[in-house]
Amino acid sequence: MSIDDLLDKLADAERNFEGAEFLAPIIGTNQVRVRVAGIICQLAIVKNLPPKYHGWGVLRALSTKKATFERQASLAEISAYLGLFPVVRLILLRQRKRYWLAMPAHRGDSRFRIQGPVSLWLPEAGLQRFETVLAGFDGRLFWYRDRDPSRDPALAAYLREQIIRQEDKGLPPLPEALHKRGLSAEERNAYALAWAILVEEQRDQVEVRLSEALAHAGAELRDYSERGDTYVVSYVIDGRTHVSTIQQNDLSVMTAGICLAGRDRHFDLTSLVGVLREAEQQNLVWVDPDHLPEDQYWQIHPPDNP
């Protein structure tokens, strides 16, 4: 077929498309995408679209660039539309405002190469974390179809129970501590990712807490690590880096990083900044492995608890 024939075919398809009704998902914008003669066209919905509409709609094409909203699609129409696409099983991971983050329920599915969580659009109300659902994949996005009737809902319930438990440091049980017959490797991976997200969120909260405590005194957090029930905090005061060990619960100082004659615990992280700033004007004795080791420091200056 020549280029002219292809162009004529496309022009005929566009003429036939004008005035036709079609079904499309609408996810919070006035734009939809539709394939015309193999070409993806993006259409603006210019009339009748309800405010903030989010769902399946039947539209009428005005051209290959504009359409009007006719009505909400029926369940039968939605089912027929999604039936055109391959079915993918997904494990729900985390709900966002208008979609779910989900993980593949079959890593060995050779039809697709899915790396990490995907967005599942237009889910029904009432879905819960770790449920396995069916989705239609249009080559770009995943659209919710139904719950997976073949999966035991007790497995998802078990994972939900575990992820809200608080054990060491307020975190749920470790992924390797899960003991439930029937859990798939993919369900365990979904739990592990949810657990890792909680760890990262907790770290973000700690960083905010430490940063605010230091910022009140004009210092800046550089980094921190956990050591038992303390934080080893690295921070900058007037261009110089200091390292101190503080209690996690109240940010009281365990080891200031300089010799305070055992009075370290009279300060918290915020008040310590002022002490270190004043100490810069004097001859400092640094308490660290390269100067005065911490254990020797405490032998010389036993803790003077406030």
Q: Which domains does the chain have, with CATH numbers?
A: 3-74 (2.40.50), 80-151 (2.40.50), 216-300 (no CATH)
Alpha helices in the chain, H assignment, sequence order: 3-17, 75-82, 153-163, 185-215, 269-279, 294-300
pLDDT at 3: 57
Residue 116 CB burial class (10 angstroms; 0-12, 13-18, ≥19): exposed
SS3 146: strand
Residue 304: which pLDDT band, with cuts at 50, 70 and 90? Answer: confident
**Confidence (pTM):** 0.75
In the structure encoding, which two tokens stand for residue 106, read together? 């079959």
Both tokens of 148, joined, read 């997976």
Q: Confidence band (pLDDT; 50, 70, 90) for 8?
A: very low
111-128 average pLDDT score: 87
CA 191/CA 168 separation, integer angstroms: 17
Comparing 202 with 120, the larger pLDDT belongs to 120
- 10 alpha-carbon distance from chain centroid: 42
- State pLDDT tens for residues 184-224: 999 999 999 999 999 999 889 999 999 999 999 999 999 99
pLDDT of 10 above 70 = no
Q: Answer for the pair 122, 110: CB distance below 8 angstroms, yes or no.
A: no
Q: Quote the CA–CA distance of 106 and 22 in Å, as a whole number.
A: 32
Q: Which two tokens stand for residue 220?
A: 């800046």
User: pLDDT, tens digit, for every residue of 13-56?
Assistant: 566 678 888 899 999 788 888 877 667 888 899 999 998 899 99
Instruction: Specify the pLDDT at position 136.
Output: 95
pLDDT, position 113: 74
Query: By CB neighbour count within 10 A (0-12 exposed, 13-18 middle, 19+ buried), where does 100 fall?
Result: buried
